[in-house]
């Protein structure tokens, strides 16, 4: 059975780009371990010859012509203004270097 240690939680949080407090590391280590303990019951079932299901839609390789549609286009400048916190026509990102 897999135990999720606080170190594991720290690693997962880093992968998922989440900042966690010390208290959260402890809580999530316990909670994730108990969920995985529950999930372990799936091992009662032999699935070695069973194929995977990733979708139930019965659709395969849905494609369309690679053409821009005006209907679908979001007016970029206006879009930026709506979503952007600074109300300007550009995105503000954190300094990298």
Partner 1 sequence: MELSYKSITELRKLLQEKKISPEELYSYYVNRIKKLNPMLNAYLTVLDKPNIDYSKKDQPLFGIPFSMKDTYNVKGIKTTAASKVLEHHISSYDSTVYVRLRDAGAVLIGKTNCDAWGHGVSTVNSDFGVTKNPWNLEYVPGGSSGGSGAALVADLCTFSIAEDTAGSIRCPASFCSVTGLKVTYGLVSRYGCIAFASSLDTVGPMAKNVEDLALVLEIIAGRDIYDATSSSQQIPKYTQGLHNKISGMKLGVPKEYFTEGVDEEVAANVESAIKIFEKLGVKAISISLPMTKYAIATYYLINPSETSSNLARYDGIRYGGNRDLFGAEAKRRIMLGTFALSAGYYDAYYKKATKMRTLIRKDFAEAFKKVDFLIGPVNPTPPFKIGEKTHDPLTAYLEDVFTAPINLAGIPSLALPAGFTKNKLPIGFQIIGKHFDEAKLLNIGYQYEQEAGINAKPEI
Binding footprint of partner 1 on the chain (CB under 8 A): 2, 4, 8-9, 12-13, 15-20, 24, 28, 31-32, 34-36, 38-39, 41-43, 45, 47, 50-59, 62, 64, 72, 74, 78-79, 82-85, 91-94
Q: Write down the least CB distance from residue 70 to partner 1, Å.
A: 13
> What Å distances lie between residue 53 and 11, 36, 97, CA to CA?
29, 21, 43
| Residue written as token pair 């690693």 | 11
Residues 6 or more apart whose Cβ sits within 8 Å of residue 20: 9, 10, 13, 28
Closest to partner 1 by CB, 19 vs 22, is 19
Q: Write down the least CB distance from residue 30 to partner 1, Å.
A: 10
């Amino acid at each position: 059975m897999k135990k999720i240690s606080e170190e594991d939680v720290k690693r997962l949080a880093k992968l998922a780009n989440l900042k966690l407090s010390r208290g959260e590391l402890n809580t999530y280590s316990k909670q994730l371990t108990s969920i995985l303990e529950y999930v372990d019951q799936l091992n009662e079932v032999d699935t070695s010859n069973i194929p995977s299901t990733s979708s139930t839609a019965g659709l395969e390789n849905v494609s369309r012509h690679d053409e821009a549609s005006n209907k679908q286009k979001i007016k970029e400048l206006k879009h930026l203004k709506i979503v952007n916190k600074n109300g300007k026509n550009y995105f503000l990102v954190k300094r990298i270097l």
